[in-house]
Structures are given as C-alpha cells and as structure tokens.
Structure 1
Amino acid sequence: MPSLSKFLAENRALTEKEADWLQHLVGDWNLVSDLLRSDLVLWIQSAEGPRAVAHCRPATGSTVYYEDPVGTLLEADTDSEIPALLEGAEPLCEPATIEREGREATGLLVPVRKDGRTLGVLAAERPVSEGGRSTNEIRQHELGLRVLRMLQSGAFPIEGAPIPPRRGAPRVGDGVVELDGSGVVQWASPNALSAFHRFGIEGDMEGITLAELSTDVLQSRSPVDESLPLVLMGRAAWRSDMQARGGTLSLRAVPLTEKGQRTGAIILVRDVTELRRRERELITKDATIREVHHRVKNNLQTVAALLRMQSRRMKSDEARDALSEAMRRVSTIALVHESLLQGSEEAVHFDEVIDRCLRLAVDAASATVHRAGAPRLTESQVEVRTEKHGRVGSIRAEEATPLALVVTELATNAVEHGLSETGGTLMVRSERIGSHLVINIEDDGEGMGAAKPTGLGTNIALTLVQGQLGGTLTWQDRPEGGTRAVVDVYLDPLTL
C-alpha cells in the first residue's frame, strides 16, 4: 500500500506547503483519536474521487476498522457528505449513525482547512456505546471536540510547535489535565491525579493554578527547564520534564484556541521516572565504553611507539623489519578502536578505516617508496598513488579488527612486491550487497607470474579471512598488468 507521502506527492492539487501541513496533522492526530476514542480517517480529493490516505486507531478505545481503509476510494453511490465538504461546503457538525463492517457506529466529518482552503476531510468514527459514558470519557470527548474545531479553522496542528526529541512522550491514556485561559485546573483524569500525587502534589487539584501546585514541590537545587513555566500555564505547545522527590514527570501542553484567542489548554502528563533512570544508565554505559576504547587505543599506540623505538636500535635488518611489521599491525588495530570512539554504536564506518590503512601501508611498506602528496625523502624513491572505489559501510566491531588487518597486510604486500621498484597505483575496490562483501586490493605493478604469495603477512591474512571472517582469499593476475587480491566474506547482520 502506498504511503501518505506518495499519495500527497501524486496529488497535484496540493502545494508542497499544504502537503507538509497534512503530514504534520497525521504526525500528531493520535491526540484527537485518543480524546474522542475514535478511529480517524483522512480523505483527500484524487483524480478518481475522494480517497482515504491515512488512518489512526485510538489507544483508549476499540476500533471500528479491522481492515485498514487506506487507499480506499469512496464509492459513487455512497450517501456521504465527504465530496461536498471537499468542495468547501460547511459541515453539519452533528454525529451521524453509520455502519462499519457490519456494526453500528457514529461518525463525525470535519473539513481540514489551512488559510481558508479545504485540504481534506477528517472522519472521526467510533462504535456505539451500549452503556452510559463516564465523567472521564465525557470530559475527554469535549476536549477532543474543541481540538476538532481548531482543526476546522486551521489552528491545529499548531504551526511551529517544536517538540523536543525526548522519548516517553505522554499520551491521553497516561493522564490529562484541562486548564482554563489563566492556567487554573478545571479537571484532571484519574491517571493524571495519580501521577501528580506520586510527585508530591496532594489533595484536589481543581480550582488551583497548576504552576502554583508544581512550584511547591520542585527541587530547589535541580535545574529547571526554561520552558516549564510556559507548559504549566498552557501558553506554549511544548514538552518539558519536571523533577522532584526522585521522580520525573513528562508534560506536554496543547493550547486550545477559538477565533485566534487562547481559551485554555490540554496538559498531557506521564510518569517517566523509570525511563529517565534507564536513559541515564545507558548514557553512563556509553561513556564507559568510549573511555575503554580510548584507553585501548592509547595503549596500542604506546606499544607501537615502543616497537618503533626498539626497531631503530636493531642492527640486524631482519629484526628491524620484523619489529616494523609488528608496529604496523598494532597501529592498524588502534585505528579500529579510534573509529569506535567517533560513533554512538558498537559499529565501525569501515570506509574511513580503509583510507587510513592505505596511508599506513604505503608509509610503512618500504623506504624506496613514498605516498603521493607526501614529501620525497630521496630522489630515488618511487611514487605510489592510492585510490578507493565503492563503499563498505558500517560493520560490527568484532569483524572490523580482522578485516582492517587483512586490508593492511594485502596493501603492504602489494606495495612491497608489486610497486616498490616501479611505483604505480594501489587500488581498493569494494562491493557490498546486504551482508555479502567483496574487497579487491589491486596494484598495477609487475604481477605475480607463476609465483604464489608467501610470507608471514600472507599467512596472517589467510588465517584471519578463513578463520575469523569465514570467507575466502584468492590472488589473480590482472589482464592489464599487476596483481589482484580478492577478499570474499559474509558479514554478520549489524544490529543497532
């Protein structure tokens, strides 16, 4: 089924601004659905006729739609006001008895308007209640009707209302408080009363300013969000947290207006004490993990520096080369931990690691070469250029370390055995489809010929690819000259 964005994009009668307005409505209409305990269906005019493009079920009541109505065209012989309302007619503003999937229900149609133009029709439909409605349900229904009137006049959703991206957004089922234009509590749902009582506000709240009630229990030493007073008075469509006695309440204000004048507000409240505690634990855990990676990186860099110092003291060329290779491998592992410091998850953006592995391989490979762009130490040095094509993307930290070592070893071998005398280009070509990753490390040097690659670096790369990554490593002669090493692995799924 096409998404709302696709429906709106295909509707040429709507401007981009009007389409954004409908998207904003659908993003916040669960408030209306929960207050009215009704299913909401958004109808817009399409080339074929009125079409349902979005649907919302209430979290506080039963639904009248078992089958999703999105995409449905209004039948031509249906006795409905929707076509007339889409043309700009005034609504009857009275609920009508309808039938939905063999059951009796009541429906209310409200035009969705912006700047005096009708963009669509909102149908609010709920099953017929067999018994009487409670006071709680009646008050919520009245608040829902006030929001519908704002919707009809273009005042809802509230334009430019920034909602902080904090989890634990309160909904109608969590608790509702009704304020008048002065911020005085007119009514509070049982869930809202329970939340405020746990917070330290005792007794009946009606007839008292919510800001006054809250000020008495706020922690004097705790920082207070600067938007909290506006939320408690219902003057701004905002969200804010309030802390006291070790607990945290999340509050959201929805100002109610009539003819452009603020007449009251809806305050949604939710006890998020446990949620905020878990968030703090996650922040602490994340900081601890980052610190561990930081210390491991520093320790590995220290080891690499010690190996470098020791290699300079070696009189034997073989011992000096062995220590230099060990230093390079330790530095490669340090690169992975440094990359883990940059992200918020236990995943490595491996393309950045490849760039640094290539520089490290060329710089440490041989004294007879220098990297393109780096200073030339002697006139006899040859130049090696590096190129990278394709993308690897993010991979798990457990796979990043062996893969980085493999890329560094193969790149170093390509420089030492293929480019150290002639210079040329070292290329890494990556292709990833889902979990399947193929990395080609190529050089345009002399090529292997009949010889097969040997040595410690080759054995390390083979062991890591076959043992830890469960893949294959092969070498080929390039038709245009040079050697190609092909790493073919299947990565584990990345879960964030």
Structure 2
Amino acid sequence: MGIREKCLIHTDLKSDQIAILEKMVEHFAFLQPYYKNIVLEINGNGDDTVFVSSKDTAEIFSSHDGHLKSRSDNPRTKRIPLFIDDHHVIGQVVYEENPTLSVVNLDQLLDLCRHVPDSFHPTDYLVPDGLAVFDASGQIQTVNFVAENILYRLGFAGMGLNQLVSSLRGEQEQEETFLSRPAFFGTYVQIKQFDVSIVLNPIIFGNELLGFLLIVSDLTLIKKKEKELMEKSTVIKEIHHRVKNNLQTITSLLRLQMRRTNLKLVETVFTESINRILSIALIHEALSKQDLEVVNIKQTSFNILQMILSNMVDPSKKINGEISGDDIYLSATAASSVSLCITELIQNAVEHAFANRTDGNIRVAVEQTQEHIIISVKDNGVGISPAKIQNESSLGMQIVNTIIQHKLKGDFSIEGQRYGTVACIRFPKSNIEVIEA
C-alpha cells in the first residue's frame, strides 16, 4: 500500500495535500548529503501516526510498528515541524545528521541543482520540476529555468524567502520570522489559470540553518488532463447505464411477446434468452457504478444466480443458491464472456436437475490458481447420465463450448455424480486480463 492509500485511510489529508507530501518525499534525495534516515511522522486519525520513509519506495508504516517508532525515538534524531497549506502542523520530519560530513555548506546542494544527475529524478516525472536554492538569509543562490519561469508567471519573481512564504500562506510575517523558525512546508496554489505545487525543504546542520531547497511544479496540464479524464469517465459510466436500460427494455419486450404464447417450450426458450440478455446487463450495471472497467466475477455470479432462480424456478419449489470462492476481477470484455457461460450452466441446472423434486441446492464456486481461473456449478439434483452428456447439443452448451474454446482458450467439462451434477469451466489467466484487487 502506497503513500496515498495509507494517508487517505489513516489521516484527514485531502488528495492535493497528499500529492504535496509525495512531491516532498520524491526530492529527499537532494537532502541526503545533510540528512540521514529521513522519516515523515504525520498526525493520523485518533491516536494513529503515519510514518513515511524516505527510502526508494517510500513505504508507510502504522504507528504500532515498533522498529520504526524506536528509530524515531533515538536520542540522536532531530525534529522539524511539517506544514501543509495552512498554519497548522500536520506532523514533523524526523532525521539524523550525516556524521560523515566534514565541511558543511550549501555548495554540494548548489552543485546538485545546477547539474542534476538522472538518478535524482523521480521515475514517474510527467513534467520537469523547478529547483531553487535559498541561503540562510533567504536570498536566492541558484534557480533553474523551470522554477524561474513558474515564479515569474505567478508574480513571485525576485521575492525573498520570507516574502514568498508570506504570500503563499496569506499572512504578513516579519522579515526574519520564517527564517528563525524553519519548517518543512508545502502548498498547492491556484493563481489565475495556473495550478502549482510548491515544496520548501530546509537544510539544517548542527542547529545551524544553511538554507532552503524550493521545488515548484506546474500541474496545470496535469489538472486539465485529470478533469478531462473525469468527464470522460462520467460519460462512459452514463453509456453503461443506458446500455443496461436498453437491454432491460429488450427483455421487457420479449416478456410481452412470451405472454402471447401458451406453449411451454416457447416460454422456456424466451426465458433463457431473457436471462442471457440480463446477464450482460448485469455487467453494464456494475460498470456504471464504478470508475474502473473491471468486474468482480464472484459478485456477478451471485447476481446471475439470484436472477435465474427468480425467473425460472416455480414458486412451489424451493431451490437455494450459494456462492463461494475468491474475489476475481476481470476486464469488461472477459467478464461478459464468462457471465454468459455461468448463465448457461445455472440455467441448465435449474431446468434439468430438479425436474421431479420440490427442493434443491445450486452452488457456484469461483476459484483461482497461479495460472488458471476455475468456475464450477454444482447441483444436488437427479444427476446426468454419461449417454446424455455425449449427446448434449443444446444451444446453451454450444454457447459455452464456443466461448470457452475460442474466446477464453480453456476447457469445459460436465460430470454426473451420485447426488447431482458438476459443470466446470477452466481457462488460463494468460489469455484474459485479470486485475489485481
């Protein structure tokens, strides 16, 4: 679980504030000549504290993790307040000074910022970040072109550090106030048409303030793309919702047509067709309620089971349905194919397993191995003879065999047992898109 997920669960921070923390951690590499073992301690909900490590993956630990807490309690560690957006401290930065330093000054940081090696750049850069270095008096020592351009567009060009921080925080501080109380600081600003994140990391050694590293990032294009993606996501969900409604309209028309016949065989054919259409509608209904184009096939199997029992079982009979197994998430295309197969197998069980019985049970199991997904439909009905299995050529079985062989590249088996029948489909994960939960 990453920084964003952990902070969303255990803190009250908003998405933009968490993005500031992620940006701050990304550039801790510049502070390594001065700080050792940098850790963010973020105030969480209740008594929780979220620890954000400065290591490569920036792992996050809960406050009860003893080894991290004991490290933060080391008497050699030092603490600097951490502000995000406003005047309230959201936590602190805990670090150890680098004991190998002999000469302590800003020259190494200035050299890094002027000639940034590739290894210091985060791997997920979308736009280049602006870098600027202030000395202990708050005057700019070096600034790259990106930072200079962003600060100019925001109207902050030529400002000293205190003036810049005062403008960002919306207060008029005394000239030496922020310099006398240095802190890690980050904010997200919207000025005119610009969206910018600003991070300020102080450089302190031996209780002496050496200067500050300023990171400015123009997020305008990213925010614009995010907005466009959100709008497209909303449109796509609306399309799924309309497709679901259209499929339900088709099933209503089929039901009207079904009522005009008194032939039991025709009614059965209509009912089976309606169930097939509704199984596809269930996929679109699930997609219309979420942002990702993935479907939980276990939940879908349960919905299909309940739908078929409601549509096909005579009210005088008591046929129960059960679902078991793993939560497996498939892409929309794969889920549609699998749902059709599950529909056919459940319909087959309802139609044939309990012909001369008033009660029974159907169990659907959704399981996965390292390489395969296995879905079985088991009933405790009258069973099926080997001869009937060999001669089985119904439309439903043809649909199952076609989908399994040509789309899922798997295999299908049906076996009659002493107490019921087991139908099983098995297909490799490599041929479909399986999404990790």
Normalising by the residue count of structure 2, what TM-score does the alignment of the two structures yield?
Answer: 0.66
Matched with 1:490 is 428
Provide closer, same or farther for how the CA distance between residues 229 and 393 of structure 1 changes in structure 2, counting only shifts above 3 A.
farther
Q: Is 1:251 the equivalent of 2:198?
A: yes
> In the TM superposition, what are the counterparts of 1:39-118 in structure 2 within 5 Å?
40=36, 111-112=76-77
How far does residue 268 in structure 1 lie from its aligned partner after superposition? 3.1
Matched with 1:282 is 229
Aligned AA for 2:282?
Answer: L
Alpha-carbon distance in 2 for matches of 1:410, 1:213: 67
> In the TM superposition, what are the counterparts of 1:308-457 in structure 2 within 5 Å?
308-367=255-314, 377=315, 381-422=316-357, 423-449=359-385, 450-452=387-389, 453-457=392-396
How far does residue 121 in structure 1 lie from its aligned partner after superposition? 5.7
Alpha-carbon distance in 1 for matches of 2:279, 2:74: 70
Alpha-carbon distance in 1 for matches of 2:362, 2:172: 60
Provide closer, same or farther for how the CA distance between residues 478 and 240 of structure 1 changes in structure 2, counting only shifts above 3 A.
farther
CA contact (8 A) 2:377 2:424 kept: yes
Aligned AA for 1:325?
Answer: E
Matched with 2:130 is 174
Provide closer, same or farther for how the CA distance between residues 213 and 366 of structure 1 changes in structure 2, counting only shifts above 3 A.
closer
How far does residue 276 in structure 1 lie from its aligned partner after superposition? 1.9
Q: Is 1:204 the equivalent of 2:158?
A: yes
Alpha-carbon distance in 1 for matches of 2:395, 2:113: 78
> In the TM superposition, what are the counterparts of 1:143-158 in structure 2 within 5 Å?
none
Alpha-carbon distance in 2 for matches of 1:493, 1:127: 55
Aligned AA for 2:332?
Answer: A
Alpha-carbon distance in 2 for matches of 1:432, 1:201: 58
Cα deviation digits, residues 411-438 of structure 1 (max 9, x gap): 1111110024322110112220234111
Alpha-carbon distance in 2 for matches of 1:267, 1:29: 13
Provide closer, same or farther for how the CA distance between residues 138 and 325 of structure 1 changes in structure 2, counting only shifts above 3 A.
closer
Cα deviation digits, residues 218-262 of structure 1 (max 9, x gap): xxxxxxxxxx548999798664322234322112355789999x9
What residue ranges of structure 2 are gaps of 5+ in the alignment? 1-20, 39-52, 57-70, 80-93, 115-123
Q: If each structure's helix is expressed as a fraction of its own residues, which one has the higher value?
A: 2
CA contact (8 A) 2:296 2:330 kept: yes
Q: Is 1:302 the equivalent of 2:249?
A: yes
Provide closer, same or farther for how the CA distance between residues 133 and 120 of structure 1 changes in structure 2, counting only shifts above 3 A.
closer
Which SS does the other structure have where 1:342 is aligned? coil
Alpha-carbon distance in 1 for matches of 2:163, 2:103: 36
CA contact (8 A) 2:134 2:161 kept: no
Alpha-carbon distance in 2 for matches of 1:432, 1:310: 41
CA contact (8 A) 2:34 2:97 kept: no
**The one of 470, 473, 478 aligned to 2:412:** 473
CA contact (8 A) 1:39 1:126 kept: no
Provide closer, same or farther for how the CA distance between residues 193 and 410 of structure 1 changes in structure 2, counting only shifts above 3 A.
closer
CA contact (8 A) 2:147 2:216 kept: no
Provide closer, same or farther for how the CA distance between residues 32 and 337 of structure 1 changes in structure 2, counting only shifts above 3 A.
closer
Which SS does the other structure have where 2:77 is aligned? strand
CA contact (8 A) 2:198 2:217 kept: yes
How far does residue 123 in structure 1 lie from its aligned partner after superposition? 4.0
CA contact (8 A) 1:170 1:250 kept: no
Alpha-carbon distance in 1 for matches of 2:281, 2:111: 61
Larger Rg: 1
Provide closer, same or farther for how the CA distance between residues 288 and 189 of structure 1 changes in structure 2, counting only shifts above 3 A.
farther
Cα deviation digits, residues 357-412 of structure 1 (max 9, x gap): 11112122243xxxxxxxxx4xxx22111122211510111110011111111011
What residue ranges of structure 1 are gaps of 5+ in the alignment? 1-24, 43-53, 58-85, 91-110, 141-166, 215-227, 368-376
CA contact (8 A) 2:30 2:112 kept: no
Provide closer, same or farther for how the CA distance between residues 269 and 434 of structure 1 changes in structure 2, counting only shifts above 3 A.
same
Which SS does the other structure have where 2:130 is aligned? coil
Aligned AA for 2:140?
Answer: W
Structure ranking higher on relative contact order (CA contacts 8 Å, 6+ apart)? 2
Provide closer, same or farther for how the CA distance between residues 230 and 177 of structure 1 changes in structure 2, counting only shifts above 3 A.
farther
Q: How many residues align?
A: 351
Identity of aligned residues (%): 23
Cα deviation digits, residues 26-74 of structure 1 (max 9, x gap): 99766554035569568xxxxxxxxxxx9858xxxxxxxxxxxxxxxxx
Aligned AA for 2:388?
Answer: A
